[in-house]
Amino acid sequence: MSKKATIDISLDDKDKIFKSGDVVSGKVTISAIQEIKCNKIIVELIWKTHGRGNRDSEVVDRIRDRESKITLTNHSTHTIDFSFNIPNSPLTYHGHYLNIDYYIRVTLDIPWAIDPEESKEILVQAGKIDNYLPFNYSEEQKKPKNKKKFPLIVTIPLGIIVGALLIALLIFASWLFLIIGIVYGIKRAMKWYAERKIGKVSLDCGNKIIYPNSKLKINLNFTPKEKCQINGIYSELKGFESVTSGSGTNSHTYSHDLHKEKVTLVSNYSCIRGNQLNFSHEIQIPDIQAYSFESSSNRIKWELKVHIDIPGCPDWRETIQLSMYPSLPNDGR
């Protein structure tokens, strides 16, 4: 099929590295090579992932040039000005299995034809904002959206079909839920058994927010219920990419460690019954711009694992999910 038009996207600040909270503006120039009848012309600010996992994307904002149909005559040009506010997350990221990039995308909606499309990449870094929140797919799904209303004659049969499929899925997957329940129950039982010896363990690491080149302070305390020996207390800070490709039985998850550091808080310690123990430690956060991110198939995660090694007894373990921010709110960075 011959090319119908050329699309040029020019930015007002073509060499600018944008920051979250900035405005990206510019002009789209469409040069028709032959006559084109468009339903509409769409200009969008989008981000999308690419790498080893499934591709996730989101339209941040869009403008439509004329809701009615538009005809571009042979060798004519048409221009559209655009201006978009860049969100505070996600930010541009180039990693091992995962990349996140922003684009200005232009699409010509042409009936009964492949829609011509052009994109221009922009780089987005952290800005000085007080309301930063890592992008989280599950939280985005909770936001209210405009929903289409369907006639009752369509809704009822559709509901019956969906209900039948859900019942079949639940029956098919019941064994999986059972296994998950058993594994969770075993973990809880092991933790309960360990605390029968060392007592209830309190683990605190503040508001669970970390940022590059900072320190995370952890406090651990417990009062042993009986005299016992502890081989060691260990903490592990881990940052990693986790991406999923495929779906269903053909899905595969790949993980790559961005940072992993294990620290010994104490070793070969003798506990006295009723004597409260307090352990504090500061963990150095690496200077790495791998901010927390979670979409449907791609994730950047940070977690803290604490392990109490108790001889002759199930070990006590706890995992805390952390959030990596570009800066702490109102810290002036």
Cis peptide before 151 (omega within 30 of 0): no
Secondary structure of 245-312 in HEC code, one letter for each residue: ECCHHHCEEEEEEEEEEEEEEEEEEEECCCCCEEEEEEEECCCCCCCCEECCCEEEEEEEEEEEECCC
The CATH number assigned to the domain holding 98 equals 2.60.40.640
Would you state the pLDDT for residue 280? Answer: 92
Would you state the pLDDT for residue 263? Answer: 93
Q: Could you say which of 69, 104, 126 is where a domain stops?
A: 126
CA distance 9 to 33: 17
CA distance 257 to 288: 12
Residue 137, domain member (yes or no): no
**What total number of domains does the chain contain?**
2
Shared domain for 281 and 198, answered yes or no, is yes
Residue 25, domain member (yes or no): yes
Query: pLDDT tens across 178-214, in order?
Result: 555 554 455 455 555 567 778 899 999 988 999 999 9
Would you state the pLDDT for residue 200? Answer: 92
Q: Can you give the length of the chain in residues? A: 333
Shared domain for 260 and 320, answered yes or no, is yes
Residue 38, domain member (yes or no): yes
CA distance 83 to 277: 58
Shared domain for 119 and 173, answered yes or no, is no
Would you state the pLDDT for residue 25? Answer: 96
Residue 312, domain member (yes or no): yes
CA distance 26 to 13: 8
Shared domain for 181 and 56, answered yes or no, is no
Shared domain for 52 and 172, answered yes or no, is no
* Radius of gyration of the CA atoms of the chain, in A: 27
Shared domain for 54 and 194, answered yes or no, is no
Shared domain for 177 and 116, answered yes or no, is no
Residue 212, domain member (yes or no): yes
Would you state the pLDDT for residue 142? Answer: 46
Shared domain for 77 and 197, answered yes or no, is no
Q: Which among 97, 89, 66 is positioned nearest to 20, based on CA atoms?
A: 89
Shared domain for 172 and 292, answered yes or no, is yes
- The 10 Å Cβ neighbour count of residue 198 is 20
pTM higher than 0.95 for the full model? no
Q: Could you say which of 81, 110, 126 is where a domain stops?
A: 126
What is the residue-wise DSSP string for 230-247? EEEEEEEEEEEEEEEES-
Query: pLDDT tens across 96-113, in order?
Result: 999 999 999 999 988 888
Would you state the pLDDT for residue 134? Answer: 80
CA distance 123 to 16: 8
Shared domain for 173 and 299, answered yes or no, is yes
Shared domain for 315 and 200, answered yes or no, is yes
Given a cut of 70, the residues of the chain with pLDDT beneath it are 1-2, 65-68, 128-131, 137-194, 328-333
Residue 173, domain member (yes or no): yes
- 246 in the Ramachandran plot: left (φ > 0), alpha (ψ -120 to 50) or beta? left
Shared domain for 184 and 308, answered yes or no, is yes
Q: What CA–CA distances, in Å, run from 175 to 180, 189, 199? A: 9, 21, 34
Domain of residue 260: give its range: 163-324
Q: How many CA atoms lie within 13 A of 291 on its CB side?
A: 20
Q: Could you say which of 126, 145, 175 is where a domain stops?
A: 126
Would you state the pLDDT for residue 278? Answer: 94
Would you state the pLDDT for residue 183? Answer: 47
